[in-house]
Amino acid sequence: MNLLDSKIRDGEFKLLLPYKTPFVLGHDVAGIVTKVGPKANKFKVGDEVYARPADFHIGTFAEYIAVDERDLAPKPKNLTMEEAASIPLVGLTAWQALVEKMNIQKGQNIFIQAGSGGVGTFAIQLAKHLGAFVATTTSAANSDLVKSLGADVVIDYKTQDFETILSDYDFVLNSQDTKTLEKSLNILKPNGKVVSISGPPDVEFANEVGLSWFVKIIMRLLSFGIKEKVKKLHLNYNFLFMRAEGKQLNEITALIEAGKIRPIVDKIFPFEQTNEALAYVESGRAKGKVVIKVK
């Protein structure tokens, strides 16, 4: 389960992902290969796999799905199917933010917002594996969880203001609202970088994914304010919308099998309660991931 499913259901992503109804939601899957296409040669019937199927090929809230083999990876052997299903979208998001966009190096420091969420629980562990110093926000009840994942500084966002505690950071992984994004700029050192996964999308992103000139104009307008602030402060801003990528998922499998990263699964719902599961995710209180299990 991902918030992306409810956002697409509510029509929030129409500009970026113009799905035609009816279609099946669901962006993460773990399961067993039951059939392979004539040109597919990386997997065979019976293999245990997991994936974030590519945009426009989603639909994992189902018993079967056809997935391009380029989006698949072997399921980590040390995980259950439910644990494996919790990984792809958030794992790839963290990978594409920390490794691709930030190229984070040993000894650098990063502020990861909402460390107890789906993305946060993975990103903290990946950042620690890469040798970074990690600060995060969560409420007091989840403080032990994020510490157990390796967070070095834990800020209770309900009683403390991260802006007055953190300074001179290399990176911010922004996953919250505009106000939090703007405050985050003030904790960065000159030339520091914010990667935002909660918007606003920018023109560079529109170019990367080849969106139309019309959408580019909208994205320029949406990100105008933050781009101006970032320029004044000599910082960098990137919007990230994660993409399916079997090769990166392979690397994630290796990290999980080596015990460097573990899944954090909050609740598992039966398939019949898919709507309830999505409502729980929408509550914004999930500790790690929410999974649905198909019998």
Nearer to ligand NAP, 5 or 77 (CB): 5
**Dist CA 82 CA 112 (whole Å):** 25
Nearer to ligand NAP, 186 or 198 (CB): 198
**Dist CA 209 CA 143 (whole Å):** 37
Per CB under 6 A, 118 contacts ligand NAP: yes
Q: Which of 72, 7, 57 is nearest to 27 (CA)?
A: 57
3-state percent helix, strand, coil for the chain, nearest multiple of 5: 40, 20, 45
Per CB under 6 A, 101 contacts ligand NAP: no
Residue with nearest beta carbon to ligand NAP: 117
Axis crossing angle, helix 88-95 with helix 118-129, rounded to the nearest 10: 50
Considering only 114, 146, 194, 261, the residue that binds ligand NAP (CB under 6 A) is 114
Site size for ligand NAP (CB under 6 A): 29
Map the footprint of ligand NAP across residues 154-183, applying CB under 6 A: 157, 175-176
Cβ distance 87 to 122 under 8 Å? yes
Nearer to ligand NAP, 102 or 258 (CB): 102
- What is the side-by-side strand order in the sheet with 72-74? 29-32, 48-51, 72-74
Site string for ligand NAP, 60-99 (x = CB under 6 A): ---------------------------------x------
Interface positions with ligand NAP (CB under 6 A):
2-4, 93, 113-114, 116-120, 137-139, 141-142, 157, 175-176, 197-198, 240-242, 281, 284-287
